[in-house]
Protein backbone atom coordinates (compact mmCIF):
# COMPACT_ATOMS: atom_id res chain seq x y z
CA UNK A 1 0.00 0.00 0.00
CA UNK A 2 2.97 2.37 0.35
CA UNK A 3 2.99 2.43 -3.44
CA UNK A 4 -0.72 3.31 -3.57
CA UNK A 5 -1.41 5.59 -0.60
CA UNK A 6 -4.48 7.14 -2.23
CA UNK A 7 -6.08 4.02 -3.74
CA UNK A 8 -9.76 4.18 -4.67
CA UNK A 9 -11.31 0.77 -4.06
CA UNK A 10 -14.79 -0.78 -4.14
CA UNK A 11 -15.36 -3.81 -1.90
CA UNK A 12 -18.49 -5.95 -2.11
CA UNK A 13 -19.31 -8.29 0.73
CA UNK A 14 -17.61 -5.72 2.96
CA UNK A 15 -19.79 -6.20 6.04
CA UNK A 16 -17.75 -9.07 7.57
CA UNK A 17 -14.99 -11.60 7.04
CA UNK A 18 -12.55 -11.13 4.16
CA UNK A 19 -14.38 -8.07 2.81
CA UNK A 20 -14.17 -6.28 6.15
CA UNK A 21 -10.51 -7.25 6.50
CA UNK A 22 -9.78 -5.81 3.03
CA UNK A 23 -11.53 -2.55 3.91
CA UNK A 24 -9.66 -2.18 7.19
CA UNK A 25 -6.33 -3.06 5.55
CA UNK A 26 -6.87 -0.37 2.91
CA UNK A 27 -8.08 2.28 5.36
CA UNK A 28 -5.55 5.11 5.69
CA UNK A 29 -5.36 8.85 4.95
CA UNK A 30 -5.81 9.51 1.23
CA UNK A 31 -7.69 6.28 0.49
CA UNK A 32 -11.27 6.35 -0.81
CA UNK A 33 -13.32 3.24 -0.07
CA UNK A 34 -16.78 2.35 -1.33
CA UNK A 35 -18.23 -0.47 0.77
CA UNK A 36 -21.16 -2.61 -0.34
CA UNK A 37 -23.19 -5.44 1.19
CA UNK A 38 -26.83 -6.05 2.10
CA UNK A 39 -26.57 -5.19 5.81
CA UNK A 40 -26.45 -1.40 6.14
CA UNK A 41 -25.87 -1.45 9.91
CA UNK A 42 -22.90 -3.81 9.61
CA UNK A 43 -21.48 -1.73 6.74
CA UNK A 44 -21.73 1.45 8.79
CA UNK A 45 -19.88 -0.23 11.66
CA UNK A 46 -17.04 -1.17 9.30
CA UNK A 47 -17.11 2.32 7.77
CA UNK A 48 -16.66 3.93 11.20
CA UNK A 49 -13.48 1.95 11.81
CA UNK A 50 -12.14 2.83 8.36
CA UNK A 51 -12.89 6.55 8.83
CA UNK A 52 -11.11 6.48 12.18
CA UNK A 53 -8.04 5.22 10.29
CA UNK A 54 -8.24 8.26 7.99
CA UNK A 55 -10.00 6.90 4.89
CA UNK A 56 -12.85 8.56 3.03
CA UNK A 57 -15.69 6.03 3.02
CA UNK A 58 -18.96 5.78 1.13
CA UNK A 59 -21.46 3.12 2.16
CA UNK A 60 -23.78 1.76 -0.54
CA UNK A 61 -26.05 -1.07 0.68
CA UNK A 62 -26.26 -3.40 -2.33
CA UNK A 63 -27.49 -6.89 -3.17
CA UNK A 64 -25.10 -8.13 -5.86
CA UNK A 65 -27.78 -10.43 -7.29
CA UNK A 66 -29.61 -7.27 -8.45
CA UNK A 67 -27.80 -6.16 -11.62
CA UNK A 68 -29.44 -2.72 -11.63
CA UNK A 69 -28.37 -2.13 -8.01
CA UNK A 70 -24.77 -3.07 -8.86
CA UNK A 71 -24.81 -0.62 -11.79
CA UNK A 72 -25.90 2.11 -9.36
CA UNK A 73 -23.10 1.07 -7.00
CA UNK A 74 -20.54 1.56 -9.77
CA UNK A 75 -21.99 4.96 -10.65
CA UNK A 76 -21.93 6.10 -7.01
CA UNK A 77 -18.38 4.80 -6.63
CA UNK A 78 -17.20 6.83 -9.59
CA UNK A 79 -18.91 9.94 -8.25
CA UNK A 80 -17.31 9.41 -4.84
CA UNK A 81 -13.81 8.53 -6.04
CA UNK A 82 -13.45 10.06 -9.50
CA UNK A 83 -11.64 6.98 -10.75
CA UNK A 84 -11.54 3.42 -9.45
CA UNK A 85 -8.27 1.55 -9.03
CA UNK A 86 -9.65 -1.77 -7.82
CA UNK A 87 -12.97 -3.55 -7.47
CA UNK A 88 -12.89 -6.45 -4.99
CA UNK A 89 -15.73 -8.83 -5.88
CA UNK A 90 -16.07 -10.68 -2.63
CA UNK A 91 -19.75 -11.32 -1.86
CA UNK A 92 -20.50 -14.98 -1.27
CA UNK A 93 -22.89 -17.37 0.48
CA UNK A 94 -23.05 -21.10 1.06
CA UNK A 95 -25.54 -23.88 1.71
CA UNK A 96 -24.40 -27.11 3.34
CA UNK A 97 -26.29 -30.38 3.00
CA UNK A 98 -26.76 -33.34 0.72
CA UNK A 99 -27.74 -32.04 -2.70
CA UNK A 100 -31.19 -33.66 -2.80
CA UNK A 101 -31.99 -32.51 0.75
CA UNK A 102 -31.23 -28.83 0.08
CA UNK A 103 -34.14 -26.83 -1.41
CA UNK A 104 -33.68 -25.94 -5.07
CA UNK A 105 -34.29 -22.28 -4.22
CA UNK A 106 -31.26 -22.44 -1.91
CA UNK A 107 -29.06 -23.88 -4.66
CA UNK A 108 -30.28 -21.15 -7.01
CA UNK A 109 -29.46 -18.41 -4.51
CA UNK A 110 -25.92 -19.72 -3.98
CA UNK A 111 -25.25 -19.67 -7.72
CA UNK A 112 -26.99 -16.32 -8.13
CA UNK A 113 -24.77 -14.73 -5.47
CA UNK A 114 -21.43 -16.47 -5.98
CA UNK A 115 -21.42 -16.52 -9.78
CA UNK A 116 -23.99 -14.14 -11.24
CA UNK A 117 -23.27 -11.59 -8.51
CA UNK A 118 -19.61 -11.48 -9.53
CA UNK A 119 -20.63 -11.26 -13.18
CA UNK A 120 -22.86 -8.30 -12.28
CA UNK A 121 -19.87 -6.66 -10.58
CA UNK A 122 -17.67 -7.13 -13.65
CA UNK A 123 -20.39 -5.94 -16.02
CA UNK A 124 -20.77 -2.73 -14.02
CA UNK A 125 -17.08 -1.87 -13.57
CA UNK A 126 -15.47 -2.94 -16.85
CA UNK A 127 -16.88 -0.03 -18.90
CA UNK A 128 -15.38 2.32 -16.29
CA UNK A 129 -12.01 0.57 -16.43
CA UNK A 130 -12.04 0.68 -20.23
CA UNK A 131 -12.93 4.36 -20.19
CA UNK A 132 -10.18 5.32 -17.74
CA UNK A 133 -7.66 2.89 -19.26
CA UNK A 134 -6.72 0.97 -16.12
CA UNK A 135 -8.13 -0.97 -13.19
CA UNK A 136 -7.93 -4.25 -11.32
CA UNK A 137 -10.91 -6.56 -10.87
CA UNK A 138 -10.40 -9.12 -8.10
CA UNK A 139 -12.53 -12.25 -7.87
CA UNK A 140 -12.36 -13.80 -4.42
CA UNK A 141 -13.02 -17.45 -5.23
CA UNK A 142 -11.67 -20.22 -2.91
CA UNK A 143 -9.97 -23.58 -3.05
CA UNK A 144 -13.50 -24.74 -3.96
CA UNK A 145 -12.79 -23.38 -7.43
CA UNK A 146 -10.40 -26.31 -7.96
CA UNK A 147 -11.55 -29.06 -5.59
CA UNK A 148 -15.23 -29.99 -5.38
CA UNK A 149 -16.84 -29.97 -1.95
CA UNK A 150 -19.35 -32.74 -1.17
CA UNK A 151 -22.30 -31.45 0.86
CA UNK A 152 -21.88 -28.10 -0.95
CA UNK A 153 -22.70 -28.96 -4.56
CA UNK A 154 -24.08 -25.54 -5.54
CA UNK A 155 -21.14 -23.80 -3.89
CA UNK A 156 -18.74 -25.99 -5.90
CA UNK A 157 -20.68 -25.29 -9.10
CA UNK A 158 -20.56 -21.55 -8.48
CA UNK A 159 -16.82 -21.49 -7.72
CA UNK A 160 -15.88 -23.71 -10.68
CA UNK A 161 -18.03 -21.45 -12.84
CA UNK A 162 -16.44 -18.32 -11.44
CA UNK A 163 -12.98 -19.62 -12.28
CA UNK A 164 -14.07 -20.23 -15.87
CA UNK A 165 -15.66 -16.79 -16.07
CA UNK A 166 -12.45 -15.13 -14.90
CA UNK A 167 -10.33 -17.03 -17.40
CA UNK A 168 -12.65 -16.06 -20.26
CA UNK A 169 -12.67 -12.43 -19.12
CA UNK A 170 -8.88 -12.31 -19.02
CA UNK A 171 -8.82 -13.55 -22.59
CA UNK A 172 -11.18 -10.81 -23.73
CA UNK A 173 -9.13 -8.14 -21.97
CA UNK A 174 -5.72 -9.38 -23.08
CA UNK A 175 -5.39 -6.41 -25.41
CA UNK A 176 -5.66 -3.98 -22.47
CA UNK A 177 -2.37 -4.37 -20.56
CA UNK A 178 -3.37 -2.05 -17.70
CA UNK A 179 -6.69 -3.76 -16.96
CA UNK A 180 -6.28 -6.87 -14.83
CA UNK A 181 -8.58 -9.69 -13.74
CA UNK A 182 -7.09 -11.39 -10.67
CA UNK A 183 -8.34 -14.51 -8.93
CA UNK A 184 -7.68 -15.17 -5.24
CA UNK A 185 -8.00 -18.74 -3.97
CA UNK A 186 -7.78 -19.00 -0.18
CA UNK A 187 -8.09 -22.28 1.66
CA UNK A 188 -10.51 -22.49 4.60
CA UNK A 189 -10.73 -19.07 6.30
CA UNK A 190 -11.89 -18.31 9.83
CA UNK A 191 -14.78 -15.92 9.15
CA UNK A 192 -18.42 -15.70 10.26
CA UNK A 193 -19.39 -17.12 6.85
CA UNK A 194 -19.83 -20.66 8.16
CA UNK A 195 -22.04 -19.65 11.08
CA UNK A 196 -24.00 -17.24 8.85
CA UNK A 197 -24.50 -19.73 6.02
CA UNK A 198 -27.42 -22.01 5.28
CA UNK A 199 -27.25 -25.35 7.08
CA UNK A 200 -29.54 -28.21 6.11
CA UNK A 201 -27.55 -30.99 7.79
CA UNK A 202 -29.06 -30.70 11.26
CA UNK A 203 -25.50 -30.68 12.64
CA UNK A 204 -23.17 -27.97 13.85
CA UNK A 205 -20.81 -26.75 11.13
CA UNK A 206 -17.08 -26.25 11.45
CA UNK A 207 -14.08 -26.36 9.10
CA UNK A 208 -10.93 -28.49 9.01
CA UNK A 209 -7.64 -27.00 10.18
CA UNK A 210 -5.46 -25.18 9.44
CA UNK A 211 -7.74 -22.16 9.18
CA UNK A 212 -6.46 -18.91 7.66
CA UNK A 213 -6.76 -15.52 9.30
CA UNK A 214 -8.88 -13.37 6.97
CA UNK A 215 -6.32 -10.58 7.35
CA UNK A 216 -3.75 -12.72 5.56
CA UNK A 217 -6.13 -13.08 2.61
CA UNK A 218 -6.79 -9.33 2.71
CA UNK A 219 -3.04 -8.63 2.55
CA UNK A 220 -2.76 -10.80 -0.57
CA UNK A 221 -5.65 -8.91 -2.18
CA UNK A 222 -4.24 -5.48 -1.35
CA UNK A 223 -0.86 -6.56 -2.77
CA UNK A 224 -2.57 -6.88 -6.16
CA UNK A 225 -2.89 -3.08 -6.33
CA UNK A 226 0.82 -2.78 -7.01
CA UNK A 227 1.52 -6.27 -8.36
CA UNK A 228 -1.48 -7.68 -10.25
CA UNK A 229 -1.31 -11.40 -11.02
CA UNK A 230 -3.79 -13.72 -12.68
CA UNK A 231 -3.89 -16.28 -9.87
CA UNK A 232 -3.00 -16.04 -6.18
CA UNK A 233 -3.19 -19.08 -3.90
CA UNK A 234 -3.36 -18.31 -0.18
CA UNK A 235 -2.59 -21.04 2.34
CA UNK A 236 -1.13 -24.52 2.09
CA UNK A 237 -4.63 -25.97 1.96
CA UNK A 238 -5.32 -24.13 -1.28
CA UNK A 239 -2.20 -25.55 -2.90
CA UNK A 240 -3.03 -28.99 -1.49
CA UNK A 241 -6.55 -28.90 -2.87
CA UNK A 242 -5.33 -27.77 -6.26
CA UNK A 243 -2.64 -30.47 -6.52
CA UNK A 244 -5.01 -33.14 -5.20
CA UNK A 245 -7.62 -32.28 -7.80
CA UNK A 246 -4.98 -32.24 -10.55
CA UNK A 247 -3.78 -35.69 -9.48
CA UNK A 248 -7.03 -37.51 -8.69
CA UNK A 249 -10.24 -35.44 -8.73
CA UNK A 250 -12.65 -38.35 -8.25
CA UNK A 251 -10.63 -39.86 -5.41
CA UNK A 252 -10.32 -36.48 -3.70
CA UNK A 253 -14.09 -35.97 -3.76
CA UNK A 254 -14.72 -39.49 -2.43
CA UNK A 255 -12.26 -39.04 0.43
CA UNK A 256 -13.71 -35.65 1.38
CA UNK A 257 -17.22 -37.14 1.30
CA UNK A 258 -16.10 -39.92 3.64
CA UNK A 259 -14.51 -37.43 6.05
CA UNK A 260 -17.53 -35.13 6.03
CA UNK A 261 -20.03 -37.96 6.41
CA UNK A 262 -18.13 -39.21 9.44
CA UNK A 263 -17.99 -35.69 10.88
CA UNK A 264 -21.74 -35.09 10.50
CA UNK A 265 -22.48 -38.46 12.10
CA UNK A 266 -20.86 -37.32 15.36
CA UNK A 267 -21.20 -33.50 15.35
CA UNK A 268 -23.53 -31.73 17.76
CA UNK A 269 -27.08 -31.26 16.60
CA UNK A 270 -28.13 -27.86 15.26
CA UNK A 271 -31.26 -26.32 13.80
CA UNK A 272 -31.71 -26.41 10.04
CA UNK A 273 -31.67 -22.88 8.67
CA UNK A 274 -31.58 -20.79 5.50
CA UNK A 275 -28.92 -18.65 7.18
CA UNK A 276 -28.04 -15.52 5.24
CA UNK A 277 -29.12 -16.82 1.83
CA UNK A 278 -32.23 -14.68 1.46
CA UNK A 279 -31.59 -11.95 4.05
CA UNK A 280 -28.45 -10.55 5.69
CA UNK A 281 -27.55 -11.71 9.20
CA UNK A 282 -28.82 -9.51 12.00
CA UNK A 283 -25.46 -9.19 13.78
CA UNK A 284 -22.97 -6.48 12.91
CA UNK A 285 -19.97 -7.58 10.94
CA UNK A 286 -16.86 -9.22 12.35
CA UNK A 287 -13.70 -10.40 10.67
CA UNK A 288 -13.16 -13.57 12.70
CA UNK A 289 -15.51 -16.50 12.98
CA UNK A 290 -13.98 -17.93 16.16
CA UNK A 291 -13.39 -21.33 14.56
CA UNK A 292 -9.66 -21.34 15.23
CA UNK A 293 -10.40 -21.50 18.95
CA UNK A 294 -12.79 -24.46 18.62
CA UNK A 295 -11.64 -28.04 19.21
CA UNK A 296 -11.48 -29.48 15.72
CA UNK A 297 -12.00 -33.09 16.79
CA UNK A 298 -11.13 -36.35 15.11
CA UNK A 299 -12.79 -35.46 11.79
CA UNK A 300 -10.81 -32.22 11.58
CA UNK A 301 -7.55 -34.06 12.20
CA UNK A 302 -8.48 -36.63 9.58
CA UNK A 303 -9.23 -33.91 7.05
CA UNK A 304 -5.87 -32.30 7.72
CA UNK A 305 -4.10 -35.65 7.36
CA UNK A 306 -5.90 -36.37 4.08
CA UNK A 307 -5.00 -32.94 2.69
CA UNK A 308 -1.35 -33.40 3.69
CA UNK A 309 -1.14 -36.81 2.03
CA UNK A 310 -2.78 -35.58 -1.15
CA UNK A 311 -0.49 -32.54 -1.26
CA UNK A 312 2.57 -34.79 -1.03
CA UNK A 313 1.20 -37.05 -3.76
CA UNK A 314 0.44 -34.04 -5.93
CA UNK A 315 3.94 -32.65 -5.50
CA UNK A 316 5.42 -36.05 -6.32
CA UNK A 317 3.37 -36.23 -9.52
CA UNK A 318 4.42 -32.68 -10.40
CA UNK A 319 8.13 -33.41 -10.09
CA UNK A 320 7.81 -36.77 -11.86
CA UNK A 321 6.52 -34.83 -14.85
CA UNK A 322 9.67 -32.74 -14.80
CA UNK A 323 7.98 -29.64 -13.40
CA UNK A 324 6.38 -28.84 -16.75
CA UNK A 325 3.36 -27.16 -15.21
CA UNK A 326 1.38 -24.43 -16.84
CA UNK A 327 2.27 -20.80 -16.20
CA UNK A 328 -0.72 -20.53 -13.91
CA UNK A 329 0.49 -23.46 -11.82
CA UNK A 330 3.86 -21.74 -11.41
CA UNK A 331 2.34 -18.50 -10.09
CA UNK A 332 4.14 -17.61 -6.85
CA UNK A 333 2.30 -17.52 -3.57
CA UNK A 334 1.67 -14.13 -1.89
CA UNK A 335 4.75 -14.69 0.23
CA UNK A 336 6.90 -15.47 -2.81
CA UNK A 337 8.63 -13.20 -5.34
CA UNK A 338 6.48 -10.37 -6.59
CA UNK A 339 5.51 -10.05 -10.22
CA UNK A 340 7.27 -7.66 -12.56
CA UNK A 341 5.99 -4.25 -11.50
CA UNK A 342 5.85 -3.25 -15.14
CA UNK A 343 2.21 -4.31 -15.21
CA UNK A 344 1.17 -1.97 -12.46
CA UNK A 345 -1.34 0.83 -12.70
CA UNK A 346 -0.03 3.45 -15.17
CA UNK A 347 -0.84 6.18 -12.69
CA UNK A 348 2.33 5.16 -10.86
CA UNK A 349 2.86 5.13 -7.14
CA UNK A 350 0.09 7.60 -6.32
CA UNK A 351 -2.95 5.83 -7.75
Residues noted as catalytic: 155
The vertex-289 CA angle with 283 and 293, nearest 5°, equals 135
**How far is residue 228's CA from residue 344's CA, in Å, rounded to a whole number?**
7
Neighbours of 44 (CB within 10 A): 16
Strand-pair category, 86-89 with 189-190: unpaired
Contact 63, 279 (CB under 8 A): no
First to last CA, the chain: 10
Residue 335: exposed, middle, or buried by beta-carbon count in 10 A (0-12, 13-18, 19+)? exposed
Distance of CA 165 to the CA centre of its chain: 14
* DSSP per-residue codes, 161-218: HHHHHHHHHHHHTTT-TTEEEEEEEE-SEESTHHHHSEE-SSB----PSPPEEHHHHH
Amino acid sequence: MSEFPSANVVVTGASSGIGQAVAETLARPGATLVLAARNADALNAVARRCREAGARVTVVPTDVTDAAAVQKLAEQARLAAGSIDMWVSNAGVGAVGRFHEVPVKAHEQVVRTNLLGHMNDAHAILPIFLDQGFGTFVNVISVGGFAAAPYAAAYSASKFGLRGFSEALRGELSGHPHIHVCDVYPSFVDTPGISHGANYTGRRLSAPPPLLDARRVAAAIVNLLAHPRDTVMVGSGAWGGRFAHMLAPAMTARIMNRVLTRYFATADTAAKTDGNLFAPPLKEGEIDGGLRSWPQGRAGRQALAVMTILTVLGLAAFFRRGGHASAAMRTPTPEGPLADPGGRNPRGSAA
